[in-house]
Every structure is written in structure tokens, then in C-alpha cells.
Amino acid sequence: PGYRVVQPELARTLRAMATSGAAAFYRGSIAKKMVDAVQAAGGLWELADLEGYRVVERTPIKFRYRGAIVTTAPLPSSGGAVLAQCLHILEARELASLGEAERVHLTVEAMRRGYHDRARYMGDPAFVAVPVDRLLSKDYALVRGASISAERATPSSELDALSPHATETTQTTHFSVIDAEGNRVAATLSVNGPFGAGFVAGDTGVLLNNHINDFVLADNAPNVYRLTGGVANRIEPGKRPLSSMSPSFVEDERGVLVLGTPGGSRIISMVLQAIVGYVDRPALDLEQIAGAPRFHHQYLPDRIEIELDGFSDEWIAAQKSRGHVVEIGRRKWGNMQLVYFDKATGRVSVVNDPRARAGVLF
């Protein structure tokens, strides 16, 4: 509060784009300045990289979670496919009738399996054949879910053996919007790390991202979010890195929920817990959905990470007794934006993340 950010250079660049369209950015003097600046700093950009860049419109992933229709992000974000697998696994259980410890254990095991497939299959579909149809199918989720023990955590190191490959192997911002006519937008935008590459190209005002870290940089080398992966998401010229961004719609007979959040690899598990909160615990209000303490499992590292100060000793003990490793995070995470249209009343309500209101950035 009280800090004024003025970006006249960026304003000039944006104005040029508003006047002349995308070409003003990807070609011409702005493109040249960015390429010159990157090259002068030792980077590898060529004018042809910018000229050759195309925005690709993709069909969202759509599936049902109990009574709700979820519309969410397709590859090259892993968000939709991981959410679908996790939610399909959970759908086969009576979550609403479980105690909290059982529900958390089950949700973590669903996360473990969803993120496991993220690591072993997913990458830019222009480069790798990702078995999306299979990953989205309920039959596949049933097979994956069958290996979950109600009593014990499955060590992530055992997942490959439990579920052979489905095919033979070969700072972020989220907006949720509903307008007066019911049009909706869920949009997550990312420069990846705080201040991206930490590099503004010349006097264009354009801050470059460091999404390169969303690729697998080397076998078994975790990225900044400690995500691992394999050949599907390795760096190749022209390839887009595998994201976790998960802008989503959830629709059922009660209403339409538009949601999403920043948060690196934890984006998917946050959106997962919000969808489960909305669908399985209808008594929760939006504030409770956004405010609920967050837990996270991403296959590797093989542990449940929990938000600082969010969970009781009993909660932790209940998961440890099942064989989970529980690691208390250094902080809270996420900045969830929820907009909800209530079909019965016609009212729209909005909740943003209490963590952000309290000054936690993401």
C-alpha cells in the first residue's frame, strides 16, 4: 500500500500493440529492441523466434465431477488432465461421509497419482504424444484409484510399478470474471518466477519470463517447484513448457464457479481442493473454500506439504500414522480468485484469497 508503480516504457509498448496489433510486438522495432537486448546480455533469441510465434487457441478440457461440469485448461498446461484424474479418483468414493483425516489421505493419494502422470507423460502436445483421452477417462482413474490403501500412504517410488505406462514409453496472476450477461473468463497469466527472468528487454518495458524452468532441465533434476519429469517435457526448439496453470469453471445445478490461482506446482492441488470443497461439502461458503488450510502432494518429493499454521497436531498425526511424510511449509500459499453465480437467486458473489488480503503474495 502506498507504493506507486509507474511504467511509461511498458505503457508505450502496450500502446503500440493496442494501435497496431500483435505485429507491433512480434515484428518491427519493439521485436528488434528485445532481440538486441537479449543478445547483448548473452541470450539466444533471434528475430525469427518472435516472428514465428503464434497464439494457439485450444479446446478446453471438459469433464464431470459428480453433479458438476468442470471446464479447464488443456495441454500444454497439465492442470486440466491432472485435475480430471484426481477428481475422477475421488468421485469413486463417498468423500462427504468420510472423516477429515480419511478425506485428506485420499485426496493426497489422488494428487500423488495425478502428478505422477504429469511427470511421466505430459509436455507440449506439438512435440509429444500425450495419452490425453486415456488420462481423462474415468476407467483409467478407477484403475489408478484401485491401488490406494485406506490405511497407508503409497510411496511415490512404488507408483511406476503399480501403474505401468499408459502407452509404451518412448509470478503469476489469476483473474476470475463473470459479466452481467453471464459471460465468464478464468485466466491465469504467468512470468513464472518472481519478476520472471529479472530482465527488461531494452527500453520496451517488457519483462521477460523464465518459463524455461517449467521444462525438465535434465533427467531427475527438479525445477524451482521441485517438479520432475522426463523426455515428454524436455527442452526442444519451438516447444512450449509444461505448465500447471488451471483456470477453471465448475458448473452444477446450484451455480457456476469461476476459479484459479497462482502458485507454481501447487496450483493444481489448490484448485482441486476448492472443487472438492464446492462439490462435496455444499455447506461451505466461498470464504471457507478460499480460506481452508491447504495441503499438497506432487508425487515427488514424496511428502505431504502443509501450510504453516494451518493444521493441528492431530491432523498431522493422522496422516503420519498412514505412512505419509508430512512437511510443514515455510508459509501459506496461493491467491485464489472465486466468482460465483448462484442460479437460484441470480446473484454473483466474489471472494479473493484471505491470504492475499493478509499480505501473502502467492
Q: Does 216 bind ligand DON (CB under 6 A)?
A: no
Nearer CB in complex with ligand DON: 200/268: 268
Closest CB 330 distance from ligand DON, rounded Å: 14
Q: How many CB atoms are located within 10 Å of the residue 149 CB?
A: 11
Closest CB 263 distance from ligand DON, rounded Å: 5
Binder among 114, 229, 255, 264 for ligand DON (CB under 6 A): 264
- Interacting span for ligand DON (CB under 6 A) from 21-29, 89-97, 109-117, 260-268: 260-268
Closest CB 132 distance from ligand DON, rounded Å: 18
Nearer CB in complex with ligand DON: 340/362: 362
Amino acid at 263: G
Nearer CB in complex with ligand DON: 188/319: 188
Residue 209 in contact with residue 15, Cβ under 8 Å? Answer: no
Binder among 156, 192, 269, 273 for ligand DON (CB under 6 A): 192
Binder among 190, 223, 269, 337 for ligand DON (CB under 6 A): 190
* Burial of 234 from C-beta contacts in 10 A (0-12 / 13-18 / 19+): middle
Residue 355 in contact with residue 338, Cβ under 8 Å? Answer: no
Q: Does 263 bind ligand DON (CB under 6 A)?
A: yes
Q: Does 244 bind ligand DON (CB under 6 A)?
A: yes
4-11 long-range contacts, CB within 8 A, separation 24+: 7/205, 8/205, 9/200, 9/203, 9/204, 9/205, 10/204, 10/205, 10/206, 10/207, 11/205
Closest CB 334 distance from ligand DON, rounded Å: 8
Residue in 349, 245, 331 with CA at minimum distance from that of residue 290: 349
Binder among 37, 232, 245, 304 for ligand DON (CB under 6 A): 245
Instruction: Check if 172 is active-site.
Output: yes
Nearer CB in complex with ligand DON: 105/297: 297
Check 72, 172, 228, 261 and give the catalytic one: 172
Site string (153-182) toward ligand DON, x via CB under 6 A: ------------------xx----------
Nearer CB in complex with ligand DON: 107/246: 246
287-291 long-range contacts, CB within 8 A, separation 24+: 287/351, 287/354, 289/338, 289/351, 290/336, 290/338, 290/351, 290/352, 290/353, 290/354, 291/353, 291/354
Which whole-number Å values give the CA distances from 269 to 50, 286, 296, 306, 314, in the listed order? 33, 17, 6, 11, 22
Closest CB 214 distance from ligand DON, rounded Å: 5
- Interacting span for ligand DON (CB under 6 A) from 27-35, 123-131, 196-204, 241-249: 241-249
Residues in 320-339 that interact with ligand DON by CB under 6 A: none
Q: Does 211 bind ligand DON (CB under 6 A)?
A: yes
**Residues carrying an active site annotation:** 172
Q: Which residues bind ligand DON (CB under 6 A)?
A: 171-172, 190, 192, 211, 214, 243-245, 262-264, 267, 362
